[in-house]
Amino acid sequence: MESRKPNIGRREFVRFGGAGLSGLAFARLLGSETSEAAEIENPHAVRPSHFGPRAKNIIYLHMVGAPSQLDLFDHKPLLSKWDGKPCPPEVTAGRDFAFLGKTSTLAASQWKFNRHGESGQSISELLPHLHTVADDIAIVRSMHTEEINHAPAQMFLHSGFGRGGRPSLGSWVTYGLGSENEDLPSYVVLLSGPPGGAGTSLWSTGFLPSVYQGIQFRSAGDPVLFLSSPAGHTPGDRRDVLDTLGRMNAMHEDETGDPEIQTRIAQYEMAFRMQTSVPDLMDISGESAATLAAYGAEPGKASFANNCLLARRLVQRGVRMIELYDSDWDHHNNLKTRLPQKCGDVDQAMAALVTDLKRHGLLDETLVVWGSEFGRTPLGQSKGGTGQTAPGRDHHKDAFTIWMTGGGVRGGVSHGETDDFGMDIVKDGVHVHDLNATILHQLGLDHEKLTYRYQGREFRLTDVEGKIIQEILT
């Protein structure tokens, strides 16, 4: 029988349909037959890895603005002797700084460092809770990047490219592996404070199909924008709209072969299921009092602590990629006041996350990464860029620190070294491409094989570089 076009125009459909984002999965939840359009291949389906993975999920803790590694992880006793003195000219010769100009006065850390755990990891007194998991984390003190300002460096860290238009790490991961959860997005973003200078491009799909976009969850109102159905629409009303939408999308697919139509269908389907799954996920009030206290989490409050607890809940539900962004780490001045405040925001919760993942038997299969877009100089900086009034530290791309745990990472190890001032790497440098190659490797993905053809060439997250940091892996 010849197929018959729907007797409703696109404008009428948009005006009167009221489908919202409830989508094609309405049929499945009602127990009726799946609509014709929903039978198109599912872009969220699990895909095989290149080799046996050590991790199934990743939680990425990004400190927006770049914490000072010299005050948290990279202890430099020599700086105490040089505090307030001009830096030797050979140390800064030929080097670019974001704001310091010709200033070259060295600044020691104002906080004590001690060794912790059986491994003797050197960590600042500003992170007392992280001390308790020192034997679980690998600290890489020899990171370096290509970009010196926030937005380009954030994009470079997440996409391997210092400008917009490329897929983020999370998009590459979900494109390569798919999702093990049919009721939630495979890539979830949680914010405590505003996003970085690069904004939503940090979880963009770039030229990958948009189905692999990171989805931001919110703490107030709808957890996901536009998730709720329009008021006054019955299930029957929406069934009629979804049937029409399915036929229209199927026709459009036949005419154009556009893969974004499959994306649209899959997202409608996912969105309806999310109307039930997301509110249940976001309600942490059912967690035990001991768990809430361990994280410092408070139900109904927007905080990094709540987001860390939500990250564990997302891992339990099979979400592949979870990224937490915590803002206000850009300390060009008032470091003595602002850095302890920010450490107080995150220290307890991120240590609790590691401990809680272990308690639930999830750490072995969950890779946790903590870091930022670059580091900070050993030179003092005030608000005006010179002098020592309420000093802070400027951007530094040539040496910074990250830490990792879980998912096949060796706990209690330190990797890489910087010089006596913390200005340059002197041993085992790790480029951002190396970090991303290692993350993909632990998820069972070969960074050289995970490619996507666009505009006539093959692209990958690590461009034409990247080597695995074998020394920190089990």
Q: Give the mean model confidence (pLDDT) for residues 154-178.
A: 97
pTM: 0.87
Query: What pLDDT is stored for residue 220 in this prediction?
Result: 62
Helix (H) or strand (E) segment spanning residue 63: strand 57-63
Bridge pairing between strands 400-405 and 366-371:
antiparallel
Q: Give the mean model confidence (pLDDT) for residues 119-145.
A: 98
Q: Which residues neighbour 439 within 8 Å (Cβ) at sequence distance 6 or greater?
A: 58, 169, 367, 369
Q: What are the tens digits of pLDDT across the range 294-334?
A: 999 999 888 999 999 999 999 999 999 999 999 999 999 99
Angstrom distance (rounded) from CA 190 to CA 310: 9
Query: What pLDDT is stored for residue 274 in this prediction?
Result: 77
| 222 in any annotated domain | yes
Query: What pLDDT is stored for residue 195 in this prediction?
Result: 86
| 40 in any annotated domain | no
Total structural domains within the chain: 1
Q: What are the tens digits of pLDDT across the range 354-392?
A: 999 999 999 999 999 999 999 999 999 875 544 445 789
Q: Which one of 218-222, 292-296, 390-394 scores highest in mean pLDDT?
A: 292-296
Angstrom distance (rounded) from CA 211 to CA 218: 19
Q: Give the mean model confidence (pLDDT) for residues 273-297.
A: 90
User: Other CB atoms closer than 10 Å to residue 6's CB: what's the count?
Assistant: 14
Show the domain range for 116. Answer: 56-472
Place of tokens 């709808």: 222
Q: Give the mean model confidence (pLDDT) for residues 48-71.
A: 98
| 365 in any annotated domain | yes
| 308 in any annotated domain | yes
27 pLDDT higher than 70: no
Backbone phi and psi for residue 305, each to the nearest 5 degrees, phi listed first: -60, -45
Query: What pLDDT is stored for residue 9 in this prediction?
Result: 54
Angstrom distance (rounded) from CA 26 to CA 96: 57
For the chain, report the end-to-end CA distance as a whole number of angstroms.
61
Angstrom distance (rounded) from CA 183 to CA 44: 11
Place of tokens 């930022």: 372
